[in-house]
A and B are shown apart, each in its own frame.
Chain A
């Protein structure tokens, strides 16, 4: 089944403890992206990647890192999480890019930073 898989679904951590949220897609998509969703603010793009080894900042990249070493994986790294990063995170992918193709979303990761 074609899908975008995020893990974990829920994560509670403490300030400063490094964490990684994984994202994997099995559709051979070139484009992958991370969003965070906060009440009243909609979805905001954190980082995106047009291809392997190519990543670019979105609207809210501060405090996050990403890597794209393989086409299928696009992990989101929080080196030193802070409470303002408590949010619902989504990974998404599309075949070529969002200008022409629909996005497929993962199920989300609810992160709480205490």
Chain B
């Protein structure tokens, strides 16, 4: 089944550093979406990038999309402890991977 797969599975950084996580998918897409999940809570939509876009920004978030490689990356700049969460990507049909667990240490 079509699915976004996030990499790495876990990432630990210090506050102020940048965090980069990646997503790979298998088939053609209309758009790709990134979500955040705080421990045990519902997912919250972060950003949507369309297949004809290569880069998109929202605050401290920067998302890139490379349709030729079927991959996307999410960059969080100047991370904060409050960014500690799991991050998921999803493509058409909204199938999610296991996510990247980000820990930002104060």
Where the two chains meet, the residues of A that have a C-beta atom closer than 8 Å to any C-beta of B are 4, 33, 35, 40-43, 45, 59, 88, 90, 92, 98-100, 102-108, 110
Contacts and interface: CB of A to CB of B under 8 A. Distances in A.
Interface in B84-106: 88, 90, 92-99
A103 B30 contact: no
Give the top 6 A-B pairs by smallest Cβ distance, nearest first: A105-B42, A98-B94, A42-B98, A102-B45, A43-B96, A99-B92
Interface residues of B, number: 22
A42 B40 contact: no
A33 B94 contact: yes
B93 A99 contact: yes
B53 to A, nearest CB: 14
B14 interface: no
Nearest to A105: B42
Contact of B42 (A40, A41, A90): A90
